Structure 1
Amino acid sequence: MPETRSLAFLAVLLAALALVPAGAHLLALPNKLAMGREAYLAAQRAYAGWALAGAFPFAAILACLALALRQQRPPDRPWPALLAALLLAVGLGVFFAWTYPANVATANWTRLPEGWEALRAQWEWSHAANAVLTLGALCAAIRAALGPGPGPSRRR
């Protein structure tokens, strides 16, 4: 089915695009945790405009759910696409529970209030968790795109 293949491609592409900023945050984490106040505030300016990348997880969730709906009929299986959507949704939950409150408390890292180190740890580690969840979602989306594996009746 060409529509299913297109949806699978879109789901993988959007999950991969969602992983780009998440992976960047994860890779920068060790260096950024070691920074002092002024260096950290300066480094955070690099993320100006990154809010637009927040569209990728939402779009990837929709694409994965659409793919799961298309994969309802045998021999397809919707579970990998549903898992990808779930992992991305959990990642958004992590963002809104831990990352976003740190953004609000620091006015998007334009000021550092008392206790900013705890906010930094919260922000950095929530991004790390999101990167792991997004990588899992990408793997699940790839699995969904590959189609069904051999079932019990198809093994040789």
Structure 2
Amino acid sequence: MAIRIVQFLAIIISALALIPSGAHLAALPNKIALAQAEYFSIQGIYYGWAFLGTLWPAAMIANGVLAFMVRSQQRPFWFALLAALCFVAMLAIFLLWTLPANQATENWTTAPENWQVLRQQWEYSHAVNALIVFVALCLSSLSVVSWRPGAS
């Protein structure tokens, strides 16, 4: 029963992590060419979204725990482990590209000279992370459907 609970949590938390990432990806084509004033104004819609960032480490942990719990079965183990590693990659991308853009612009309230470069960095790092979280969700789901109770 514990494995089923962790499987459920891994899928649900991974799916929830896809929501804000998917929203960023969907908005990218409409935002990437906006003028500075419009872009900075629209960025204000993300205030309060920081708490959604907790879904990434939560999904990483849930998938890591799942990998540990199903380690006796090769396919479910590797799928869950790769899902967890996807969330590690997402966090790395956030720390290397998204967060520095947020910091340099003071969360999009100050426009440094290179704001357009920072905008591309911010938008495309979110787009890549949306694709990664989708892959992670697929991997997590594959882990669950490939696990066989009682098999070793």
Given that 1:75 and 1:148 are in contact with CA atoms closer than 8 Å, whether structure 2 keeps it comes out as no
Identity %: 45
Equivalent-residue separation in structure 2 for 1:28 and 1:77 (angstroms) = 34
Q: Per the alignment, in what secondary structure is the counterpart of residue 78 of structure 1?
A: helix
> Quick one: structure 1 residues 120 and 148, their matched pair in 2 at CA, closer, same or farther if it must change by over 3 Å?
same
Alignment of 1:106-145 (within 5 A): 106-145=105-144
1:113 to partner: Cα distance: 1.0
Equivalent residue for 2:84?
A: 85
Q: Structure 2: give runs of 5+ residues left out of the alignment.
A: none
Equivalent-residue separation in structure 2 for 1:13 and 1:30 (angstroms) = 28
Which structure has the bigger radius of gyration?
1
Give every structure 1 segment of 4 or more consecutive aligned residues whose post-TM-superposition deviation is greater than 4 Å. none
1:23 and 2:22 correspond: yes
Equivalent-residue separation in structure 1 for 2:112 and 2:34 (angstroms) = 16
Q: Per the alignment, in what secondary structure is the counterpart of residue 76 of structure 2?
A: coil
Given that 1:81 and 1:140 are in contact with CA atoms closer than 8 Å, whether structure 2 keeps it comes out as yes
Aligned length: 148
TM-score by length of 1: 0.91
Equivalent-residue separation in structure 2 for 1:48 and 1:112 (angstroms) = 17
Alignment of 1:42-81 (within 5 A): 42-74=41-73, 77-81=76-80
Equivalent-residue separation in structure 1 for 2:75 and 2:5 (angstroms) = 15
Given that 1:22 and 1:130 are in contact with CA atoms closer than 8 Å, whether structure 2 keeps it comes out as yes
TM-score by length of 2: 0.93
Q: Per the alignment, in what secondary structure is the counterpart of residue 108 of structure 2?
A: coil
Equivalent-residue separation in structure 2 for 1:117 and 1:146 (angstroms) = 44
| Amino acid aligned to 1:53 | L
| Amino acid aligned to 2:56 | P
**What is the CA deviation profile of residues 31-63 of structure 1, one whole-angstrom value per residue up to 9, with x for unaligned ones?**
110211111011000000110001001000100
Q: Per the alignment, in what secondary structure is the counterpart of residue 77 of structure 1?
A: helix
Equivalent-residue separation in structure 1 for 2:134 and 2:75 (angstroms) = 23
- RMSD over aligned Cα atoms: 1.3
Given that 1:11 and 1:67 are in contact with CA atoms closer than 8 Å, whether structure 2 keeps it comes out as yes
**What is the CA deviation profile of residues 120-143 of structure 1, one whole-angstrom value per residue up to 9, with x for unaligned ones?**
000000000110111100000111
| Amino acid aligned to 2:117 | A
Equivalent-residue separation in structure 2 for 1:105 and 1:75 (angstroms) = 44
1:9 and 2:12 correspond: no
